[in-house]
Structure 1
Amino acid sequence: MTTTPASSASTPAPLKVAVILGSNRTGRFGPVVADWFLERAGRHPGVETELIDVATADLPTALSWTPTPEETARLQAVSTRLAAADGFVVITPEYNHSFPAPLKNLIDWHREEWQAKPVAFVSYGGVSGGLRAVEQLRQVFAEQHTVTVRDTVSFHDAGTHFDDEGRHRDPAGAEAAAKTLLDQLVWWGTALRDARTLRPYGG
Structure 2
Amino acid sequence: MKITIISGSHRKASQSEKVARFIQNTLRDENLCEETWLYTLAENPLPLWDESIWEGSPDWQERLDPISGQLASSDGFVVISPEWHGQVPSGLKNFFLLWGKGELAHKPALIVTVSSADGGAYPVAELRMSSYKNNRICYIPEQIIVRNVESVLNDDPDQNNADADGYFRQRIRYALGILKEYARALGQVRASGATDLSQFKNGM
TM above 0.5: yes
Contact 1:124 1:154 in 2 (8 A): yes
Q: Which residue of 2 aligns with 1:60?
A: 47
Q: Aligned runs of 1:149-188 on 2, under 5 Å?
A: 149-161=140-152, 163=154, 165=156, 168-170=160-162, 171-188=165-182
Query: Where in structure 2 are the equivalents of 1:1-203 lying within 5 Å?
Result: 15-26=1-12, 28-47=14-33, 48-55=35-42, 58-65=45-52, 69-111=58-100, 112-143=102-133, 144-161=135-152, 163=154, 165=156, 168-170=160-162, 171-202=165-196
- Matched-pair contact (CA < 8 Å) for 2:2–2:36: yes
> Which shows bigger deviation, 78-87 or 167-176?
167-176
Partner letter of residue 151 of structure 1? E
AA aligned opposite 1:102:
G
Give the percent of matched residue pairs that are identical in Structure 1 and Structure 2.
Answer: 24
| TM-score (normalizing by structure 1) | 0.81
Q: Would the alpha carbon gap of residues 168 and 78 (structure 1) be closer, same or farther in structure 2, given more than 3 Å must change?
A: farther
| SS of residue paired to 1:183 | helix
Whether the aligned pair in 2 keeps the contact of 1:120 and 1:185 (CA below 8 Å) is: yes
TM-superposed CA distance for 1:80, in Å, is 0.9
Identify the range of structure 1 (62-71 vs 80-89) with the bigger mean alpha-carbon deviation: 62-71
After superposition, the CA RMSD in angstroms is 2.5
| 1:196 match: secondary structure | helix
TM-score, length-normalised on structure 2? 0.81
* Gap regions ≥5 residues in structure 1: 1-14
Q: Distance in 2 between matches of 1:142 and 1:151?
A: 16
Cα-to-partner distance string for 1:138-197 (whole Å, 9 max, x where unaligned): 123442323212222222121133557487442321111112211111111101112102
26-35 or 75-84: bigger deviation? 26-35
Counterpart of 2:77 in 1: which secondary structure?
strand
For the Cα contact (< 8 Å) 2:80–2:111, is it kept in 1? yes
Larger gyration radius, structure 1 or structure 2: 1
Distance 1:162 1:199, change over 3 A: closer
Closer/same/farther in 2, CA of residues 62 and 146 from structure 1, 3 Å limit = closer
